Chains A and B, each alone.
Chain A
Amino acid sequence: MTARKLIFCFFILLCPVLRAQQDSIALREVTISDAQLKRFSNTQNVIKLNDSTLSRNSVSLADLLQFNTPIYFKENGYGMVSSPAFRGTTAQQTAVVWNGININSQLNGQTDFNTVPTAGFGNVSVRLGGGSAIYGSSAVGGSIHLENELFFGRRFSHDVRLAYGSFDTFNGSYQLAASNQDWSVNAGLSRNQSQNDYPFVGDKRNRKNSNGQFYNTGMNLALGYRLGDAHAVKLYSQVFDGERHFSLINTSDTPTKYRDYNTRNLLEWQAVWGKWISKVKTAFLSERYQYFDDLSDADHTFGQVKTFLARHDLTFTPNDRMAFNTLIDFTQHDGTGSDISLQKRQIGSAGLLFRHRPWPVLGYELALRKEVTDNYDSPLLYSAGIDWTPWRWYGLKVNASRNFRIPTFNDLYWKQGGNPNLQPERSYQFEATNSFRFNHFSMTATIYQMQISDMIRWVPGSGGVFSPENTNSVLINGAEATLGYDHRIGRHRFNLKGAYGYTDSRNRETGKQLIYVPYHKATVAVAYGYRKLSLAYQHVYNGWVYTQSDNNPDKTVGLYHVSNVSADYDFGHKRVYRLGFKALNLWDEQYESVADRPMPGRHFNVYLILKF
């Protein structure tokens, strides 16, 4: 047994020994746009990643979730295209929700998690399981929620984070938070760049990652204005501009690169009349990619979609045990590109959410949603769940839902092969979560079953031209467990978080496990603090995956264990001047998450966090 495995086991065994108390995260007076995440997600499991977890991880959403959730990621080499399999589903069946708005690409239906910087988000939450009745398309395996928080009250603060490390990697962000009773602004800039030319661990020919350099610049803004107690206007904005060269697999491959440019703007007017809260939201989103298939000239292919969204969100709370919420939506997508002709898609939807807690120990939630569009038949989406907490230390959540994933612009309108007759993918899901709390401990254990039919898959037609079809159906049986431990003894602070996922995701016709879905994934993060010193250790274990749909046992990507360790010290007195050092892939594991796409070995960075 190697040293790193011993350490891994040590941490696993350590947990039951340590004494425990409730997870206590100090709640602040904040407002967020995605109220449904807080108010209508009580019968499902939500993993919250708070600021200390965010600052401990690297700057991309992919890294953050890889080390802190049961979600599996495959990545075409470090920083390259990163797509998740959430509860054994596909990348298109995971929704990314920005301030309550689904931001998955309308072109390919997914979010590339390496193009979402975490800087500026006060909160990142992972909602496990189906959520289409609230969040619409793609919330099948689960959803990732990015939230900008707005604080009201007198405050003026700066947050500067700088990191520099191996492979000429620089990460920097600046965030300003200023507020008084009526105004609140939270604005920031971030920049990430890397030569990303890491040597391949254990490679006999001493090869390096070539043509893997990337940079991205982000801007985020959250602005709030309160007009008395009854009204508030909020504006949220995000701009992301990134360029990645795509790593070569073979040295003589043609070098390529890819540019993303995304903008997101959301304007919200909130009005409170007694027991009624009305929110009118309008959003304008744009996404554009450019793919340069040969760097010797400026020729490229591109695609872009502009999205306009208008939503009315009305909540009626007759008493503190009960709430009704209606959501009425209109969305228009205008897409164009080198491979799709100009297309417009309009979707209208209406939803009703209801929650009721007739007894303190028992509550339930119901959600219904129906979308209407010219393009396809949309199923009635629903969710129903019960939350039963008979004892302080034990709770049970049961939820059943119907979810979907709509065909994308590429699926429908790709010039060569697009199929305008596609229907949405449909899914039923059932899950049950037991949760336990003992003093410093919290634990959840979930089982779920999911059935997905009419999966959209690109299949070859005549002349070798691929075209998407509603084919395949998938049955997923899985289990998840999370563990939390949080304790302070004098000036010592201990924190442990663990997550485990078991996923059996099979094509129902062939009985084979889906490719790039591991049976097992586990993460452990341990943090220790003493006065101004913080130490943290993270570990991810990723089980092996099949790379071929016939489950050829010779065609797999092997399991891997990867650990990060960090240490920092806060030299500030009233302010935070934290200087730290991080070693990533501490045990120099030779690993890849996609076949023939080696990931970096042990590497380092130093970081500085200033808050003043």
Chain B
Amino acid sequence: MKLSKLFFAALFCSVLVSCDNDDDPVVNVPLGAYQGGFFVLNEGNASAGSITFSTYNYSLLKQDVFGAENEGDGVGGYVQSMFFGGDKAFVISGGSNKMTVVNRYTFKHITTIETGFFNPRYGVVFNGKAYITNLADFGDLADDYITVIDLADYSVDAPIPVGAIADKIFEENGKLYVLNGNYGDGNSIKVINPNTGSVDATIALPQSPNSFDTEDGKLYVLTASSFFDPAPSHLVRIDLATNAVESDITFPETLVGAQNLNEDEGGLFFTVGNKVYGNAINAASVSGTELFTTAATTLYGLKVEDGNLYVTDAKDYASDGAVLIYTPTGTLLKNLTTGLIPNSVYFN
């Protein structure tokens, strides 16, 4: 996590410099056409999702970069998420139970893994292996598991049962943290030893976790109520050294179903409907007043990076989507067209 942030920061600096100067001294040898920009993952439909790329200065906007660089099958349907490890990017298709591995800079296809997945969600790379969560049977909340892929030969190792919903995942201090939440179900985090597959700790949460971010050894988790029993969201802070819950802030009554928690530059950002809310990272309470209302028809994802907010707009779920880039005060910097149902943004 920290490493990758450093990496992003380095990239940002280089881009900021390069805006004024084409003979950028920092990036001497470009690693590929897709270095120095961001990807937007378009969930798509059951048959295919796609990936859009934009440079940081928006001078180049390219749709379906996988299709542009590769022949054959696409990345699959209902593309859920993407994660990185070294010079590779891993694209997870939830609808097609597969993971496509590409070079993150050239987007050239490396391999596709089609076994070991059952409604896969999110992944993380740690110590030469990729760990991917699977919801498995949607009707069964206890059969979820982690697929383990050895990145040396892309073989599928024995899966790790989670014993609870397996959705978002990250690695910290050599442990896998799995958020046990999906659409209002589940209310914990499992801390799993990747080597033994044993659950080291279970962190209880007041509601279903839907998003998180980490900063300075703290984990910030946003939770939301079940659809059937609406209640204000909670923001929970956990000490990653001890896995202890340090604070649990209940949101104002109006903030039900908050999503998309992001930490950036000492602030926390999240969304309710098509509004963006924000808070100082250690504030004792959460304000019920929005920072601004986005122009998104259907706010579907949020990524906050270096002071800018990247809001994905799924529109009517049947049109080309958009990424709306805002300042924290709500000034629209850019509106970029994407593919069908953009759900997330990744910096490269």
Contact = CB atoms under 8 A, between A and B. Distances in A.
B194 interface: no
B184 A463 contact: yes
B135 to A, nearest CB: 11
Contact of B97 (A205, A254, A293, A301): A254
A254 B94 CA distance: 10
A149 B36 CA distance: 72
B88 interface: no
A415 B229 CA distance: 12
A552 interface: yes
A187 interface: no
Contacts of A415: 228
Contact of B137 (A251, A253, A299, A550): A299
A596 interface: yes
Given A250-B96, A254-B119, A415-B228, A463 B259 contact: yes
A297 interface: yes
A301 B139 contact: yes
B319 A550 contact: yes
Contacts of B119: 254
A249 interface: yes
B140 to A, nearest CB: 7
A299 B256 contact: no
A464 B119 CA distance: 18
A174 B228 CA distance: 50
Contact of A596 (B48, B72, B98, B184): B48
A460 B48 contact: no
Nearest to B94: A254
A469 B161 CA distance: 40
B137 A549 contact: no
A294 interface: yes
B198 interface: no
Interface in B183-241: 183-184, 224, 227-228
Given A293-B137, A462-B256, A462-B272, A253 B77 contact: yes
A222 interface: no
Contacts of A205: 72
Contacts of B257: 462-463
Interface stretch (B16-24, B123-131, B151-159, B309-317): B309-317
B298 interface: yes
Interface string A253-271: 1100000000000000000
B65 to A, nearest CB: 15
Nearest to B317: A460
Contact of B95 (A250, A296, A550, A597): A250
Contact of A250 (B73, B228, B314, B317): B73
B77 A463 contact: no
A464 B183 contact: yes
A299 B141 CA distance: 13
Contacts of B183: 463-465
A254 B78 CA distance: 12
A205 B72 CA distance: 8
B318 A549 contact: yes
Contacts of A299: 137, 139-140
A253 B118 CA distance: 9
A595 B47 contact: yes
Interface in A217-268: 249-254
A515 B138 CA distance: 30
Contacts, number: 85
A252 B138 contact: no
Given A251-B114, A253-B97, A254-B97, A548 B47 contact: no
Contacts of B138: 293
Interface in B69-113: 72-73, 76-77, 93, 95-98
A343 B344 CA distance: 39
Interface string B321-348: 0000000000000000000100000000
B73 to A, nearest CB: 7
B47 A250 contact: yes
B8 to A, nearest CB: 27
A380 interface: no
B252 interface: no
A548 B273 CA distance: 23
A297 B95 CA distance: 18
A463 B224 contact: yes
Contact of B298 (A250, A251, A460): A460
B66 interface: no
Given A251-B114, A254-B118, A301-B139, A460 B314 contact: yes
Interface string A279-305: 000000000000001101101010000
A252 B319 contact: no
A459 B316 contact: yes
Interface string A546-574: 00111010010000000000000000000
Contact of A465 (B47, B140, B227): B227
B139 A293 contact: yes
Given A250-B95, A253-B77, A416-B227, A552 B47 contact: no
B320 interface: yes
B117 interface: yes
B30 to A, nearest CB: 29
Contact of A552 (B45, B95, B137, B319): B319
Contact of B319 (A293, A548, A596): A548
Contacts of B244: none
Contacts of A596: 47-48
B295 interface: no
B320 A548 contact: yes
Contacts of A462: 256-257, 272-273
A252 B114 CA distance: 6
Q: Which one of A296, A463, A555, A595 has the greatest number of beta carbons of chain B within 10 Å? A: A463
B284 interface: no
Contacts of A294: 118, 137
Contact of B76 (A252, A417, A550, A597): A252
Nearest to A552: B320
B98 A250 contact: yes
A460 B257 CA distance: 13
B249 to A, nearest CB: 19
Contacts of A463: 183-184, 224, 227, 257, 259
B46 interface: yes
Interface in A442-465: 459-460, 462-465
Nearest to A594: B47
A548 B76 CA distance: 19
Contacts of A297: 137
Nearest to B256: A462
Nearest to B319: A550
Interface in A119-151: none
Contacts of A249: 46-47, 77, 96
B234 to A, nearest CB: 14
A376 B264 CA distance: 48
Interface in B5-49: 45-48
A252 B138 CA distance: 17
Interface of B: 45-48, 72-73, 76-77, 93, 95-98, 114-115, 117-119, 137-140, 183-184, 224, 227-228, 256-257, 259, 272-273, 298, 300, 314-320, 340
10 contacts: A205-B72, A249-B47, A249-B96, A251-B114, A252-B97, A459-B298, A459-B316, A464-B259, A464-B300, A595-B47
Interface of A: 205, 249-254, 293-294, 296-297, 299, 301, 415-417, 459-460, 462-465, 515, 548-550, 552, 555, 595-597
Given A250-B73, A417-B227, 17 more contacts: A205-B72, A249-B46, A249-B77, A250-B76, A250-B98, A252-B96, A254-B119, A293-B139, A416-B227, A416-B228, A459-B298, A465-B183, A465-B227, A548-B318, A549-B316, A549-B318, A596-B48
Closest 6 CB pairs of A and B: A596-B47, A550-B319, A463-B257, A250-B96, A252-B114, A549-B318
